[in-house]
Amino acid sequence: MRVTVSVIKADVGSVAGHHRPHAEMLSYAVRKIEEAEKSGLILSGYVTHAGDDIVLVMTHTRGVNDPEVHGLAWSTFREITEKVAKPLKLYGAGQDLLSDAFSGNIRGLGPGVAELEFEERPSEPIVVFAADKTEPGAWNVPLYRMFASPDNTAGLVIDPKLHTGFKFEVLDLIESESVILKAPEELYDLVGLLGTPGRYAVSMVYRAIDDEPAAAASTTRLSLIAGRYVGKDDPVLAVRAQAGFPAVGEILSAFAIPPVVSGWMRGSHRGPLMPVSFRKGHNVVTFFDGPPRVIAMGWQISNGRLVGVDRKEPADLFDDPFFDYSRRVAAEMAVYLRTMGEFEPARLGHEEMEYTTLPQILERLKPRFRKLEEAASHRG
Ligand code: F6R
Ligand code: MG
Ligand code: MG
């Protein structure tokens, strides 16, 4: 059967700053998802959070960009905002809902969307990642490692289905255009673009041998929609695994050495992407509103439904003592970067600060700047 996995997320308010959603927000979302399962709109759904973002994972047969499925996510986020977050005066209530103009597609309105449509294999493992305090380009290093680096993914060398490589659809988030690049043939061009994660982000990965979709990522840049700083985009990513795709262990090993990503504190800092357990409640951000973190949920898709370790409950893939090592490295990187205070590269570069208050500081100081010759004559 043809199945679609839709992962849609939004930050519509949280408790104790930009920390985590209130339990009532999550239970409201669970009720909406259960109603949609009963009505047959979706086959199955799961609700979780990554830091202050609510994440809806839904499976159905309606294809990508389906108005009803997007509508379900939109009304869920809207109702949670109005019925729970605002009455409780939660912090940043409705933060990511940037427009009321929903007309069938949630893309471009604030929430992040990653969708994969495929013919279900005899056995279909998938991994869904959700990150907080970062941006879509945060997936660039892990996706490069998973689908283009034989140092990470042994299958690229060993498995004939992976050996022909993968195609990356790369978005230019500033110009709103995309290009498809094939690894390994165009690896250096690909790395050339992915090395600028604030501008170029991967939206889709396809297996080259048969163009089967392998991964889908959300690519919303809230600041580019709103024209001002409105919190970070906190992306999601869905990846198909095993039997002709990277093994789950190869997919996870892409996160073992934390990449430095943008979006920490006030969306203006770089920090390590720390892989954490969600079942242990470690998917919350505290130290300097971070550091940025990522959770990994593992399922089988079975007759279009999510099958986890206990009914729909996903495998908590970063809850492996091995990843204590990654967390330790991430904590050390985080502390080290904080010793830099407000200096690049701990703080973002000038161009990426465009949507923060830095331009206001520069604007205020503008009249006091003097041309060098003039300044020299002032000094006599
Ligand atoms: C980052 C984030 C937080 C806030 C910070 C200041 O994505 O959400 O780091 O930017 O807590 O928030 P305000 O300006 O709302 O006090
Ligand atoms: Mg928030
Ligand atoms: Mg967030």
pLDDT at residue 375, rounded to an integer: 76
Percent composition of the chain: helix, strand, coil (DSSP 3-state, to 5): 30, 30, 40
Mutation test residue for ligand 1: of 89, 234, 289, the one with most atoms within 8 Å of CB: 289
pLDDT at residue 226, rounded to an integer: 66
Catalytic residue among 9, 11, 66, 234: 11
Mutation test residue for ligand 1: of 90, 261, 265, the one with most atoms within 8 Å of CB: 265
Catalytic residue among 86, 91, 229, 320: 229
Ligand 2: distance of its center to the CA of 20 in Å? 8
User: Is-catalytic flag, 229?
Assistant: yes
**Which ligand has an atom closest to residue 92 CA?**
2
Structure tokens at 31: 């009720």
The parts of the chain modelled with pLDDT lower than 70 are 222-223, 225-232, 354-355, 380
Nearest CA to ligand 1 atom 14: 266
Concatenating the DSSP letter of every residue in 42-99 gives: -SEEEEEEETTEEEEEEEESS-TT-HHHHHHHHHHHHHHIIIIITTTT-BTTTTT---
**Which ligand has an atom closest to residue 90 CA?**
2
Kindly state the percentage of the chain with pLDDT values over 70: 96
Ligand 1: distance of its center to the CA of 11 in Å? 12
CA distance 148 to 181: 11
pLDDT at residue 356, rounded to an integer: 74
User: Is-catalytic flag, 11?
Assistant: yes
**Residue-wise pLDDT tens digits, 23-53:** 999 999 999 999 999 999 999 999 999 999 9
Ligand 2: distance of its center to the CA of 9 in Å? 12
